[in-house]
Amino acid sequence: MSPPTHAGRTLRDRKRDRTRRALIAAAVDLFERRGYDGTTVADIAAAADVGTRTFFSYFGSKEELMFPDSQARVRAAVAAIAARRPSDRPADVLLRALRDVGATDGGLDDMVGRLTALRLRLIRTVPAVRGRALQLALAVQREIAGHLRRAFPAELDDVGAAALVGAFVGAVTGALQVLLEDPDTHNDPEYLRQRLHTAMDDVLRPWR
């Protein structure tokens, strides 16, 4: 699709990109070994060989490090809405957009699998990370609602679009909350996606 991110233009950009990845890699490693609370920001910075102060010029907070690709998800959803066909109803478009958001995991090479699995675990267990995830979900939701409304101006108003998107995202979130408890879904994002998909079909049937 678009040019991969790893070809930063200037030396500075490339170095910055490398440091960013190093921080994420170091954090994932430390979180897996010592746990989230057992790892300080200073530890992460030291492991990535940068000053503690520098960490905060890459990530606004410790939690933010777990969600490095949040913008990509928004873009995926917007693209799905833009690619709609004339026959699509709002719910159809929305369902496809959400599927694309869930499938978005690009931009971080090998790290992806480990990061995703770790993220799921930390969302379950660390309040600060769960809080951050929720806020991001809300932001994505808001963004999608805006685009959806513009795509269907005759059928949706501000509040209606927000409520509709909220219902769909809420269904996903609610189902996820239960599914993430299920030991079978741990460390198996594919199986998780499968079960989520069937649950969604079930709940959202009245709309389609």
Partner DNA sequence: CAGCTTAGCTGCACTCAGTGCCATACTGCA
Partner DNA sequence: TGCAGTATGGCACTGAGTGCAGCTAAGCTG
Please report, as ranges, the residues that interact with a second copy according to CB under 8 A: 127, 130-132, 134-135, 138, 141-142, 145, 158-160, 162-175, 177-179, 195, 199-200, 202-204, 206-207
| C-beta neighbour count of 194 within 10 angstroms | 12
Q: Which does 106 bind (CB under 5 to 8 A by kind): DNA, a second copy, none?
A: none
| Dist CA 151 CA 162 (whole Å) | 13
Q: Which residues inside 50-69 make contact with DNA, applying CB under 7 A?
A: 50-54, 56-58, 60-63
Place of tokens 């030291």: 46
Here the tokens at position 91 are 């719910």
Nearer Cβ to DNA (86/127): 127
Instruction: Report how many residues bind DNA under the rule CB under 7 A.
Output: 24
**DSSP3 helix / strand / coil % (the chain, rounded to 5):** 75, 0, 25
- Which one of 12, 33, 85, 208 is in contact with DNA (CB under 7 A)? 12
Q: Which does 177 bind (CB under 5 to 8 A by kind): DNA, a second copy, none?
A: a second copy
Answer yes or no: are the C-beta atoms of 59 and 69 closer than 8 Å: no
87 lies in the site for DNA, by CB under 7 A: no
Residue type, 182: D
Which stretch, 37-45, 70-78, 146-154, 186-194, contacts DNA (CB under 7 A)? 37-45
Question: How far, in Å, are 10, 15, 150 from residue 165 at the CA level?
Answer: 40, 39, 13
Applying CB under 7 A, the residues found at the interface with DNA are 10-13, 15-16, 19, 39-42, 49-54, 56-58, 60-63
